Amino acid sequence: MAISNQESGFRTQEFVLNMGPQHPSTHGVYRAILTMDGEYVVDVENVVGYLHRGMEKIAEDRTYTQFIPYTDRMDYLAGILNNWGFVMTVEKAMGIEVPERAEYIRVITGELQRIASHLVMVASMALDLNGYTPWMYAFYDREKILDLFEMICGSRLTTSFMRVGGVPNDIPEGFIPKLEKFLAELPGRADDFDNVITGNEIFVGRTKGVGVLDAEAALSFGLTGPNLRASGVNFDLRKAQPYSVYDRFDFEVPLGENGDSFDRYNLRMLEIRQSARIIRQALDTIPEGDIMAKVPKVLKVPKGETYCHIEGSKGLLGFYLVSDGGTKPYRLHLHSPSFVNLGAYPKMAKGTVLQDAIASLASIDIVLGEVDR
C-alpha cells in the first residue's frame, strides 16, 4: 500500500518529470507530466494527441466502406472489434439484417481479437513491472491468434475484416482445426502465465491496492468494460443488451472486488478464459449459409442519427453517426474507451510512488491509437 508523502510527513524538493512522449512504458506516444516529490507522485497531468490523425474528419471524406480500414487503426490491438462496431452502426442505421453465419464468424473472430487484446494487456502489465519472460509467453499466444487472423482475414493486425452486411471471407479450410488446437492449448498457457505472474508475490505486492477506483468513482469517470467490472460493477454489454448472437452463448462475466490494478489485470485473465468458452460454443453451433447480406453496391445511409456501441476489449466502443442521406457520413463521432479510461488516470496515480503510477497506467490498458484517434 503506497503511503503518500504528506502522510509520512517527509517532504523534499519537488520536481517535474516529463514521462513521455518517448518513454518505455507509456504504451505509445503519451506524455504524463508528473510532479514528483522524491519517488512520490504529487500531481499528474495527461498530455495526449501525439497520434491524433483526425479520424473523425477523415470519416467525413470517405464512403462508409472506405472508412472500415481506418477503424483498424484506432485500437490497433483490437482491429476486428473496431470494424465490427463501425459496420454494426451502419447496419443499424440502414436496417440491414446480417446473415447468421456471418454473425457467428464475427463472434468467433471478435472474441479471438478480445483474447489477443487482453493478452497484450496482461503481457504489457507484466512487462511494465519488468516481467520480460511472461510478456514473451503472452505474445507467443497472441502470435498464434494473429496467425489465425492471417488465415481468415488476410492480415494480422489491421484486419479490415468486416463489411457492412457481413464478412468478406468465409472460414477457410484448416482454420477450424488450428483454432481447436489453439483453444486446447490456451488453458495450459494461461495457467503457466498465472503461475509466473498472477501468483507472484512481487507482482501481487506491486498491484494490490494500487490505483484503486471504487465503483462510484469508476462510474463517474465513465469507465466501461473490464476496468469498470474490476471495480465490481456488473456491466457487460454482451449480457446487458446482447447484440449480434451473444444471447445464444453461455458465459460468465467475471467481476473484481477492489478496483485496484491487480483486479483489473486478473479480470483480463479470467475474461480470456470466458472468451475461449464463447468461441468453443460458437464453433459447435455455427450454421451454414451466406456470409453477406444483400446490400447495395453504393451505401447510402438514410438521414438521421444513430448511436451504437459494442463491448470492445477496453470498454464500450461507441459510434455516433449523423447522416445527411449521402454516401459519406455527415459527422461520425468515435467514442473510444481508452480516451475515457485515461481520463481517470490522474486520480489513480496521484499520491502513489512512481512505480505504482506505471502499474496503474498499465492496468487501465490504453492504446494511444484509440486515445488520439
Partner 1 sequence: MDNINVLVDTLKEKFSSKISVSDDGQSLVVSSADIFPVLKEIKENTQYNFLADLTAVDYPERMEVVYHLMNIKDAGLIRVKALLDKSDPKIDSVVFLWDTANVMERETYDLLGVIFEGHPDLKRILCPDDFEGHPLRKDYKVEPAVRQ
Partner 2 sequence: MSQAIVFGVLAAIVLGFGLAMVLSKNLVHSAIYMAVTFIGVAGIYLNLSAGFLAAMQILVYVGAISVLMVFGVMLTRRGDIAASNIFNRYKLTGGLMALALFVILGRLIFTSSWNLSSFAVPEDTVSLIADLMMTDFVIPFETAALLLLVALVGAIMVAKGVKNTR
Partner 3 sequence: MENFFVNIAGLIRDLIAGFGLNETLVYLAMVIVKFVAVLVFVLLNVVVLVYMERRVAGFFQERLGPNRVGPQGTLQLVMDIFKLLSKEDIVPAGADKFVYKAAAYAIFVPTILVYMVIPFGKGMNVIDLNLGLFYILAISSVTTMIIFMAGWGSRNKYSLVGGMRAIAQMVSYEIPYVFSFLGVIMLTGSLKMSTIVEAQQGVWFIVLQPIAFIVFLIAGNAEINRGPFDLPEGEQELVAGYHTEYTAGRFAMFYMAEYANLLAMAAIGATVFLGGWQGPWLPGWLWFFIKMYALVFGQMWVRWTFPRIRVDHLMHLNWKVLLPVSLANIVVTGIGIKVYQMVRMMGWW
- What are the residues binding partner 1 (CB under 8 A)? 46, 48-49, 52, 54, 56-57, 61, 217, 219-223, 233, 235, 237, 240-241, 304-305, 307, 309, 316, 318, 320, 322, 330-331, 333, 335, 339-340, 342-344, 347, 372-373
Minimum distance of partner 1 from residue 51's CB (angstroms): 9
Give SS3 for 313.
coil
Minimum distance of partner 1 from residue 340's CB (angstroms): 5
Strand order in the sheet with 14-19: 14-19, 31-37, 40-47
Of the chain, the end-to-end C-alpha distance in Å amounts to 35
d(Cα 53, Cα 74) in Å, to the nearest integer? 10
Closest CB to partner 1 among residues 150, 252: 252
How many CB atoms within 10 Å of residue 45?
A: 11
d(Cα 316, Cα 344) in Å, to the nearest integer? 15
Binder of partner 3 out of 130, 234, 241, 285 (CB under 8 A):
130
Q: Which does 9 bind (CB under 5 to 8 A by kind): partner 1, partner 3, partner 2, none?
A: partner 2
Closest CB to partner 3 among residues 30, 203: 203
Minimum distance of partner 3 from residue 146's CB (angstroms): 16
What is the x/- site pattern for partner 3, positions 238-267, by CB under 8 A? ------------------------------
C-alpha cell at 83: 470494424
d(Cα 85, Cα 50) in Å, to the nearest integer? 24
Q: Does residue 184 belong to the site contacting partner 3 (CB under 8 A)?
A: no
Binder of partner 3 out of 6, 15, 247, 302 (CB under 8 A):
15
Closest CB to partner 2 among residues 13, 298: 13
Cis peptide before 242 (omega within 30 of 0): no
d(Cα 343, Cα 34) in Å, to the nearest integer? 15
Q: Does residue 188 belong to the site contacting partner 2 (CB under 8 A)?
A: no
Q: Does residue 38 belong to the site contacting partner 3 (CB under 8 A)?
A: yes
Binder of partner 2 out of 1, 3, 6, 10 (CB under 8 A):
10
d(Cα 154, Cα 10) in Å, to the nearest integer? 58
| Residue the block writes with cell 458465459 | 251
Closest CA to 69 of 86, 53, 57, 54: 86
Q: Please provide the DSSP assignment of 26-78 as one string.
A: SSSS-EEEEEEETTEEEEEEEE--TT---HHHHHTTS-HHHHHHHHHTTSTTS
How many CB atoms within 10 Å of residue 201?
A: 7
Give SS3 for 12.
coil
Q: Does residue 133 belong to the site contacting partner 3 (CB under 8 A)?
A: yes
Minimum distance of partner 3 from residue 197's CB (angstroms): 7
Q: Which does 133 bind (CB under 5 to 8 A by kind): partner 3, partner 2, partner 1, none?
A: partner 3
Closest CB to partner 2 among residues 310, 353: 353
Binders of partner 3 in range 137-156 (CB under 8 A): 137, 140
Closest CB to partner 2 among residues 13, 177: 13
Using CA atoms of 178, 183, 184, 189 in order, give the dihedral in degrees to the nearest 10: 120
Closest CB to partner 3 among residues 161, 265: 265
Residues lying near partner 3 in the complex (CB under 8 A) are found at 2-3, 15, 17-18, 23-25, 36, 38-39, 126-133, 136-137, 140, 196-197, 200, 202-203, 205-206, 353-356, 358
Residues lying near partner 2 in the complex (CB under 8 A) are found at 8-10, 12-13
